[in-house]
Amino acid sequence: MSSYTEVSAVAISAPKPIRHTANFHPNIWGDQFLKETSEYKPIDPNIQKEHEQLKQEVRWMIMDTTVSHAQKLHLIDAVQRLGVAYLFVEEIEDSLDNISSDSNSDDYNDLCTVSIYFRLLRQHGIRIPVVNVFEKFKDCEGKSKSSLNDDIQGLLNLYEAAYLGIHGEDLLDEAIAFTTVHLNSAVSCALHRKDLHDILQWKEKLDLATKFPYARVRRVEEYFWILGILFEPQYSYGIKKFTQILSLLVIIDDTFDSYGTLEEFTLFTEAIKRWEIDAIDSLPDYMKHIYKAVLGEYAEIEEHMTNQGKPCYISYAKERFEQERGHVASAIECYMKQHGVSEEEAVKMMKVHVEKAWKDMNEDMLKPTSVSMNKLERVLSYACAIHVIYYKSGDSFNNPHKLKDKVALLLRDPVPL
């Protein structure tokens, strides 16, 4: 009888699910950002004092009314490019307001200064007419003056300024095309590397690579992505938490795309809807790790925000995680099916839609705005990060070699001082 029972149990046991794994590019950074280094030690008090003195000097330079507007524009541009403009927000706003009211583009003759003038005021939300600014750089036939061809600094700044165009500003579209043809062609901060080191330690502690060997290892790229949205030191906690949540989302994404079964997806989605630790008992063993990590991270965030006296909208997190994946059709696939066109034609049309969307966002950034500029800047920064990672050079997240040089410039190779 016992022999019969054993045979029957084997015969009716469910077959093991077939696990599909994607052929992702491997992690290219190893543990170089995880190793302890002396640069993570507390800043020397004397150096900290010197930093404060330098900040005060820069603050007075920005507020100095004896320098020309052109000099002030170049100073603000330099401060912004060094990634320290957040230290002088009020001073920069006051200076740009004064420049906007006291001068116009006719006061500046070179393309570089005019482009900086236009870009900074547009970023400040000021509606500055594009024709009045750049018309002087066209010849009698309406073409860009040939003298601009060798003005590399001017062309670079014009290229940046032109991407702040809104609908109807064809002159800026022409500027993008012109500068792209003629151009053939970040401050790396110890604080960023320290934050990255902390994030990598968090991942090592959770042992994510071992528990989810089928998932992409994009630890550094995930941090780079979030830095495109938030980079200021006062947001260090948010940067680290955003990166950790993104890491968990990548694992969930890869689980739904190529590893789990439909039954497991259903169980995981139901557990997320319940959003309580007891729901973990219904999950397969490998999913228990990710579920526990998700709830743990959001519980820590909620506690932190509560202690800070700030609201924490956990319900939004639940909605995000409740989205069942399976195979999610891309925008290209949807467009091909809806309009009956080839992939090449769909890609071409999607690029047109993307360009229109940029102009919509640029227009929404102009004052008066319905929400604070700080919030709008985060949305715009998110779009810029997506543009760099997924759009400009193809899918750089799946193929990190395309992103390697940018990451190295920001996080590995410091600017010599």
**300 located within any domain:** no
- 3-class DSSP state of 138: strand
DSSP class of 73? H
Residue 128 to residue 117: CA distance in whole angstroms: 10
Q: How many structural domains compose the chain?
A: 1
Q: How far apart are CA 318 and CA 316, in angstroms?
A: 5
Q: Does the residue 95 lie in any domain?
A: yes
Taking residue 293's Cβ as centre, other Cβ atoms within 10 Å add up to 19
Q: Please, which contacts does 143-147 make with residues 24 or more away whose CB atoms are closer than 8 Å?
A: 144/174, 144/175, 144/178
Contact 378, 229 (CB under 8 A): yes
Cα angle for residues 48, 50, 55 (degrees, 5° grid): 95
Domain assignment present for residue 102? The answer is yes
Structure tokens at 254: 């890869």
Which DSSP letter does residue 110 get? S
Could you give the CA distance from residue 116 to residue 357 in angstroms, rounded to a whole number? Answer: 23
**Each residue's pLDDT expressed in tens, for the chain with a length of 417 residues:** 444 444 444 445 567 777 766 677 777 777 777 765 555 566 678 888 888 899 899 999 999 989 999 999 999 999 998 888 999 999 999 999 999 887 766 678 889 999 999 999 999 888 888 877 888 888 777 777 777 877 888 888 998 898 888 888 888 888 888 887 776 453 345 677 778 888 888 888 888 888 999 899 888 899 999 998 988 878 888 999 999 999 999 999 999 888 889 899 999 989 988 899 999 999 999 999 999 999 999 999 988 888 888 777 666 666 666 654 444 567 788 888 889 999 889 888 988 888 899 999 999 988 888 888 888 988 889 998 988 888 776 788 888 888 888 888 788 776 554
Q: Does 210 reside within a domain?
A: no
Residue 221 inside a domain? The answer is no
Residue 200 C-alpha from the chain's centroid: 19
Residues near 182 by beta carbon (within 8 Å), at least 6 away in sequence: 148, 149, 155
pLDDT at 324: 45
Residue 163 lies in a domain: yes
List the alpha helices (DSSP H) in 64-110. 69-81, 89-102
Q: Give a yes or no: residue 253 inside a domain.
A: no
Nearest to 347 by CA among 401, 388, 385, 395: 395
Angle of helix 111-123 versus helix 89-102 axis, rounded to 10: 120
Residue 414's pLDDT is 61
pLDDT at position 322 is 61
The C-alpha atoms of residue 307 and residue 57 are separated, in whole angstroms, by 35
**271 close to 291: Cβ distance less than 8 angstroms:** yes
Sorted by sequence, the CB contacts under 8 Å of residue 326 that are 6+ apart come out as 256, 262, 265
CATH number of the domain encompassing residue 78: 1.50.10.130
Number of residues that this document lists for the chain: 417
Tell me the residue range of the domain where 115 lies. Answer: 45-182
pLDDT score, position 7: 47
Backbone angles phi, psi at 322, to 5 degrees: -80, -5
Q: Give the residue among 99, 166, 110 at the shortest CA–CA distance from 133.
A: 110
Structural domain contains residue 86: yes
